[in-house]
Amino acid sequence: MYLKSIKLVNYRNYDQLYLDFDKRINLLLGKNGQGKTNILEAIYLMSIGKSFRTNKDKELIRFNSENTYIGGIFSKKNDDNIIELVIGNNMKKGIKVNKVSIDKIMQLLGNLNVVIFSPEDLKLVKDGPKERRKFIDREISQIIPLYYNYISNYNKILTQRNKLLKSNYLDENLLDIYDEKLSEYAKYIYLYRRDFIKKIELLSKKIHKNLTSDVEDLKIEYVNQIHVSDDDGLDILKNKFLEKIKSSRNLDKQYRTTKIGPHRDDISIFINSLDVRLYGSQGQQRTASISLKLSEIELIKEETLEYPILLLDDIFSELDQKRQKLLIEEFENIQIFITSAEENHKLIFEDKKDVNIIYIEKGRASQ
């Protein structure tokens, strides 16, 4: 899988932009604030349907414009495909895949798979559980688009339940209905997260050993409140959750929020049996984060039989030379987009033939 070209109209600081890409390495060079990350964001939008930088679509529209267009042609299993998005100030976001309109994000997911790696991802281990849940949910949704529906529906019911808990009149029968609905979606979320974390642990363990020359052993555990086991099927998971959330009802009333559920899941990460978040050095935390992010790539390849596109947003400035080269050499068959403000990063690719260098300045690009 690789992106062949992109077209942007009235997007961020671009009035019009058309770029062809190399199927291997694309280096976007330019000073900060010129629009490099905007291109990566547009690629991500075509994959996920939303930005990794903002929840407000209107921020993507160029100043003084009514709407924006993002379109890209990509090759998947040797066939050309096109994804197009139109976002307007006074209209619903429109998405087309191969000229056919879609009305659900689930229908977009899995068409163009991407993995993005930014300086923020180096804090994946150190940050709070919300960031790790986001990492898990994003990757499962690319592999299993139906999962996106489960997590979206769960969150909608969760919001309604919390609103009820905060109200002056508490309808117990309505709480029962919400508990039943939550348990129906929760059973799938637990199942898919359990299986995903087991797979990601095997892959990241191997990658981490390579990164640390076999000195460190990485272990990842699924942390949840109902003690999900390897043998639990959907009915067992639903009953476990339903029993637990009902037993927590008095506590939920006291705190006026839902204390039990996959919205409080996390993963624990250990290096040589020590919790790296609590006891690991900054270097160990970064290396563990890199191992997790790189394992995403291998898992998508295993599940879809094609490598995703790798987006590296200003990551080289955060890594030493050894890890810079590792990222490039580890994935010889992957299309990579790299943004950098440092001209000397071109030297990393001086022995590579398939490198497309794109210079970005004030919303203009030259190749």
132 with 262, same domain: the answer is: yes
Q: What pLDDT is attached to residue 282?
A: 86
120 located within any domain? no
Domain count, the chain: 2
CA distances from 211 to 139, 280, 302, 326 (A): 22, 16, 21, 8
156 with 285, same domain: the answer is: yes
Q: What pLDDT is attached to residue 110?
A: 92
Residue 66 CB-density burial (10 A; 0-12 exposed, 13-18 middle, 19+ buried): exposed
281 located within any domain? yes
35 located within any domain? yes
212 with 195, same domain: the answer is: yes
Any alpha helices (H) in 96-228, and if so which ranges? 105-108, 129-143, 145-165, 172-211
Binding residues: 30-37
| Rounded Cα distance, 81 and 112, in Å | 9
Binding residues for ATP: 30-37
| Rounded Cα distance, 189 and 202, in Å | 20
CA distances from 293 to 6, 25, 156, 304 (A): 25, 19, 28, 17
193 located within any domain? yes
Structure tokens at 240: 């476990």
Q: What pLDDT is attached to residue 333?
A: 81
Instruction: Residue 218: give its domain's CATH number.
Output: 1.20.1050.90
Q: What pLDDT is attached to residue 191?
A: 97
Q: How many CB atoms lie within 10 A of CB 359?
A: 15
Domain boundaries, position 246: 126-300
> Where among 300, 330, 352 does a domain terminate?
300
194 with 249, same domain: the answer is: yes
188 with 163, same domain: the answer is: yes
In the predicted model, residues of the chain with pLDDT beneath 50 are none
133 with 254, same domain: the answer is: yes
52 located within any domain? yes
180 with 268, same domain: the answer is: yes
Helix H or strand E segment including 17: strand 14-20
String of DSSP letters for 207-243:
HHHHHTTT---EEEEEE-SS---TT--HHHHHHHHHH
Structure tokens at 3: 């992106």
Instruction: Residue 354: give its domain's CATH number.
Output: 3.40.50.300
89 located within any domain? yes
118 located within any domain? no
12 with 81, same domain: the answer is: yes
237 with 356, same domain: the answer is: no
90 with 155, same domain: the answer is: no
177 with 95, same domain: the answer is: no
Structure tokens at 296: 């995403």
> Where among 267, 300, 333 does a domain terminate?
300
277 with 313, same domain: the answer is: no
Q: What pLDDT is attached to residue 274?
A: 95
> Where among 300, 315, 333 does a domain terminate?
300
pTM for this entry: 0.90
119 located within any domain? no
